[in-house]
């Protein structure tokens, strides 16, 4: 074996280290994918809720075009 070439033990150690890093990276990717899926579910639920709330707002209101008289408290 030439002096500059790594021996088999060093190569095995490097391969093992790379396999460990790949395993951690894969685990992290799985966790991130799950988090993204949960966030998308939350976004979808919020969009449904906003849509439902918009249906509850009477026409002509919520767009700033209502009468200011309608905004006055009853004691005025």
Number of domains in the chain: 1
Give the ranges where the chain is alpha helix by DSSP (H).
Answer: 8-56
Q: Is residue 12 part of a domain?
A: yes
| Interacting residues of 34 by C-beta distance below 8 A, sequence separation 6+ | none
Tens digits of residue pLDDT in 46-56: 999 999 999 99
pTM above 0.85, yes or no: no
DSSP 68: G
Q: Is residue 39 part of a domain?
A: yes
Q: Is residue 73 part of a domain?
A: no
**% of residues, the chain, pLDDT over 70:** 74
Q: Quote the domain boundaries for residue 34.
A: 8-55
Q: Is residue 72 part of a domain?
A: no
Q: Is residue 37 part of a domain?
A: yes
Residue 67 has pLDDT above 90, yes or no: no
Q: Is residue 62 part of a domain?
A: no
Residue 63 has pLDDT above 60, yes or no: no
């Amino acid at each position: 074996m030439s002096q500059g070439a790594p021996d088999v033990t060093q190569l095995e150690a490097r391969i093992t280290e790379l396999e460990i890093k790949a395993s951690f990276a894969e685990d992290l990717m799985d966790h991130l994918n799950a988090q993204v899926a949960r966030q998308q579910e939350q976004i979808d639920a919020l969009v449904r809720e906003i849509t439902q709330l918009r249906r509850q707002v009477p026409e002509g209101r919520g767009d700033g075009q209502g009468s200011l008289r309608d905004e006055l408290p009853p004691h005025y």
